Structure 1
Amino acid sequence: MLDTSPRDTAVDLARNLAGDDAFRAALADLIAFPTDASDPDAPRHAYLAHVAQGFAAMGFEMQGFTSDGHPFLLVSRIEDTTRPTVLGYAHGDTVPGMAGRWADGRDPWVLGVAQDSGLWYGRGIADNKGQMLVNMTAMQAVIAARGSLGFNAHILIEMGEEIGSPGLRKVCEKLKSRLKADLLIASDGPRIDAATPTLFLGARGGASFRLQLRRRMGGRHSGNFGGALKNPALELAHALASITDARGALQVAGWVPESIPEAARRALTGLTPAGGEVDPEWGAPDLTPAERIHAWNSAEILAFSAGDIAQPVNAIPDMAEAVVQLRYVPGIADADLGAALRAHLDAHGHGDVTIAAQGPRFRASATPVDHPAVGFAVASLARTHGSAPVVLPSLGGSLPNDIFTEVLGIPTIWVPHSYPGCSQHAPDEHLPAAIFPEATGLMAGLYWDLGAASKAVLGVG
């Protein structure tokens, strides 16, 4: 009989825990809280109180507080101040449930199980309740197998990520000494695909702008005035078309990165992003689709409106408006993004178009691909899985990663447990049931290895 190492014991225990009925019941309990971030009456405090009970059973200490009107929970387990300290992060809020739009009459706040497909459904199962439970269960397994984590842990849980994380920056600024850590290990966002363990090291920034052009009050008959009166819809369409070229490559000075770091380019070599659902010839020339998503900038028109598309009339519209979003990597002067767009539109003869910021903004931030902690995490996941994980320099989307890198000054490593097709912001949010024990085992191995690692090996402290 082969001897089983203590690490293998912890990994096996984690997989078993995530595959049993208690895990399924715990996940159902989390989903049952309708924590829609846009609902002022959502049970945010009740959700955090429920989560706190689970961490208390694992020997964590609790601290709850409020910032900008939003509740937060900080759980901590300090075992030895000479050991590395790891900060975790999760969010318990979700997008709206979208009840009535789910297939087969599913309730978004009830864990649904499809036996034929092996998929589990529920609002928040992927974003982010299920991912938090994976990490929580992995820690439980390590503590049971070792008798301790072997490192110190803080985990910060917020309830407003889906509306821009209000108050999170203030929390980290106020509690900077309390949150002192050597690195962040957290889970959110998707893997490159459901079967491939993935790391990403930061997130592209996100900034949206509302463009508007009004020419008059009320429409004008398209026959009586057509060809002799400015049409704001046509004018704005030309303005929008100037933001990229015909293949989608950015044309706004100040919105285009200078280059891709060589280490990032190597990490993305041969990678097929977004489950392969890409148009290879779209976007910046001479870049692969993976480089365009994870190491470059992109602009998208999220909405464009003029007249009444449902019931058009024979009239030249009086105004047109659109929302444009920029996703951008570190190295861009993000304080000047609006000014850069203004200068671009003016230079192309669209000075009458007004520009206003739209919605929350996330700043771009990322840990270098060649940071020692990244190599450590890659080796740990490879040991557990049997092959190396994919490393993405940045998540294609946006997260409050900049708060951890800038305010707390720590490297960040994200290990996602979702996948691109999970429908996390749509009806039928789901995950494959098989991903839970597999991901929990990966995290148990990573936590076990952190408990045996020195700060020098991690390149911190």
Structure 2
Amino acid sequence: MDHLQTLDKYFQEQRDTHLEQLKEFLRIPSISSLSEHKNDMQKAAEWLLNSFQAAGLENLSIDETAGHPVVYGDWLHAEGKPTILVYGHYDVQPVDPLRLWESGPFEPEIRDNKMYARGASDDKGQVFMHVKAVEALMKQNGSLPVNVKFIIEGEEEIGSPHLEKYIEANKEKLAADIIVISDTGMYGPGHPAVCYGLRGLCGVQIDVQGAKGDLHSGLFGGGVANPIHAIAEILASFHDQEGTITVDGFYDDVRPLADEERDAYKALNFDEEALKEEIGVTELFGEKGFSHLERTWTRPTLEVNGVFGGFSGEGLKTVLPAEAGAKITCRLVPDQDPDVIIEKLKAHIEKHKPAGVTVNVTEFDKGKPFITPFDHPAIQAAGRSYEKVYNVPTAFTRMGGSIPIVAAFDEILEVPVVLMGFGLSSENFHAPNEHFHLENFDQGLRVIGDYYYEIAAFSKDELKK
């Protein structure tokens, strides 16, 4: 019996037990952004540590940070074999609006072979799978084919503000040959994907000030600058009619898309018509000369996320507002630097600021883009493990979203990062009725277990960046 058959037998026998254990984990309301859940964060960390111990991991610790703790465990007895560092997070998003949940967000429930609960897909369910894959191999063999280290944090949903400092301070402890993260998604139902690139992020708020207070629009309208008009003019200046960003130098450092990547995306036969129907739009829109996948995976963006100012209540109020503003975010691609882009944004805003108002720009979240060559051995090995279990070719994709800490791992530890996720875009992570398709839970356990054997076949030198 080969290792996949052995794993399959074990996971079938333990499935009910594993799902009940996952429900225990999901019942803990580990919302990192809300201070009233500080004790729940500690409880989740302790639950995870106990699950590490039950799986056979060693050198266990709950490592304090200036925020919520990091949970660590390892098994390092595969002499001469590569070391995999598994990263994930145990914190979850808030649950509002509660009225839209069909079952309690922290009362896990299985419906139609889907586990419903906050964190089921993002990221407790996927972290749990890695722990159980290790446990299965230890129960079956008494050892692992590779060395493993786990680092599971409690602040990913608030931007991992303290993790980079933790990684810097623990470089030796976290040293590995590859990093594996399951916090991304599949290409589609039954169609696995290995993500080899993430967009970076930077965000700012633009505040426009006019008069010292709101003015009567009849007495002052037409004679004093209107901050809402000013913010609209600034926002309109960011793009041309075809969606190209007009900020000077914005595209200067963008790495061109390789021909082999463009060919790989074409081979996915992405259905743009189906997407339009799914999201309820008549046309897709974006930078000229690029497909939808290319625009959302490999090109930078500048999006207006919110606009505010003036009177928005019922009826009419003839006021000339004193203030207005907007929040914008940019998704960045390799080799763009968030700090450089923010300076270009500030220069653009100053250049296009109308007369009669003052403008202030406040910086928010920043994260660098990440990319690993998709022909790297560790990436291709992940593809093989998916294919053995799902029996379909693996897609190699980039992702339009951002996981800022991935770039920090890449730069600080200087080892390849493999993003092998099992979620689906339809699973409502960050929204009411978050859920996880249990067929991907079942198959994902087997994929992870097989991947450890795939990596064991490489020397450490073969896995270097």
Q: CA separation in 2, counterparts of 1:446 and 1:87?
A: 13
In structure 2, the CA distance between the partners of 1:211 and 1:270, relative to structure 1 (3 Å rule), is farther
Deviation at 1:100, TM superposition (A): 2.7
Paired residues of 2:146 and 2:453 also in contact (CA < 8 A): no
Correspondence 1:408 to 2:413:
yes
In structure 2, the CA distance between the partners of 1:6 and 1:439, relative to structure 1 (3 Å rule), is closer
Q: CA separation in 2, counterparts of 1:396 and 1:41?
A: 29
In the alignment, which of 278, 291, 294 is matched to residue 291 of structure 1? 294
Q: CA separation in 2, counterparts of 1:163 and 1:64?
A: 19
- SS of match in other structure, 1:393: strand
Q: Return 5+ residue gaps in structure 1 as ranges.
A: none
Query: More helix per residue: 1 or 2?
Result: 2
Q: CA separation in 1, counterparts of 2:237 and 2:12?
A: 52
1:356 corresponding residue in structure 2 = 362
Q: Return 5+ residue gaps in structure 2 as ranges.
A: none
In structure 2, the CA distance between the partners of 1:427 and 1:247, relative to structure 1 (3 Å rule), is farther
Q: CA separation in 2, counterparts of 1:12 and 1:357?
A: 52
1:445 corresponding residue in structure 2 = 450
Deviation at 1:395, TM superposition (A): 4.7
Q: CA separation in 1, counterparts of 2:389 and 2:232?
A: 52
In the alignment, which of 397, 418, 424 is matched to residue 429 of structure 2? 424
In structure 2, the CA distance between the partners of 1:16 and 1:217, relative to structure 1 (3 Å rule), is farther
Correspondence 1:218 to 2:213:
yes
Deviation at 1:281, TM superposition (A): 4.2
Letter in 2 for 1:302: N
2:84 corresponding residue in structure 1 = 86
Q: CA separation in 1, counterparts of 2:195 and 2:317?
A: 49
| Higher alpha-carbon deviation: 150-159 or 393-402 | 393-402
Q: CA separation in 2, counterparts of 1:140 and 1:454?
A: 24
Equivalences for 1:99-114 in 2 at 5 Å? 100-104=98-102, 106-114=103-111
Q: CA separation in 2, counterparts of 1:411 and 1:255?
A: 28
In the alignment, which of 255, 258, 261 is matched to residue 258 of structure 2? 261
Deviation at 1:254, TM superposition (A): 3.5
1:237 corresponding residue in structure 2 = 232
* Structure-2-length-normalised TM-score: 0.91
2:129 corresponding residue in structure 1 = 134
Paired residues of 2:56 and 2:138 also in contact (CA < 8 A): no
Q: CA separation in 1, counterparts of 2:433 and 2:401?
A: 22
Deviation at 1:262, TM superposition (A): 3.3
Q: How many residues align?
A: 451
In the alignment, which of 184, 191, 200 is matched to residue 196 of structure 1? 191
Correspondence 1:388 to 2:393:
yes
In the alignment, which of 338, 345, 349 is matched to residue 345 of structure 1? 349
* Structure-1-length-normalised TM-score: 0.92
Q: CA separation in 2, counterparts of 1:343 and 1:270?
A: 40
* CA distances 1:334-390 after superposition (whole Å, capped 9, x unpaired): 2212210122223334584321102x3222112122222212222222223222211
Letter in 2 for 1:100: L
Letter in 1 for 2:169: K
Paired residues of 1:37 and 1:93 also in contact (CA < 8 A): yes
Q: CA separation in 2, counterparts of 1:99 and 1:348?
A: 38
1:37 corresponding residue in structure 2 = 32
Paired residues of 1:185 and 1:415 also in contact (CA < 8 A): yes
2:150 corresponding residue in structure 1 = 155
Paired residues of 1:264 and 1:393 also in contact (CA < 8 A): no
- SS of match in other structure, 1:68: coil
1:50 corresponding residue in structure 2 = 47
Equivalences for 1:109-124 in 2 at 5 Å? 109-114=106-111, 117-124=112-119
In structure 2, the CA distance between the partners of 1:350 and 1:439, relative to structure 1 (3 Å rule), is farther
Paired residues of 1:11 and 1:445 also in contact (CA < 8 A): no
Q: CA separation in 1, counterparts of 2:361 and 2:218?
A: 31
1:301 corresponding residue in structure 2 = 304
Greater than 6 Å deviation, 4+ residue runs: none
CA RMSD of aligned residues (A): 2.2
- SS of match in other structure, 2:36: coil
* CA distances 1:126-171 after superposition (whole Å, capped 9, x unpaired): 1110111122222222333443221000110110111110211111
Deviation at 1:81, TM superposition (A): 3.9
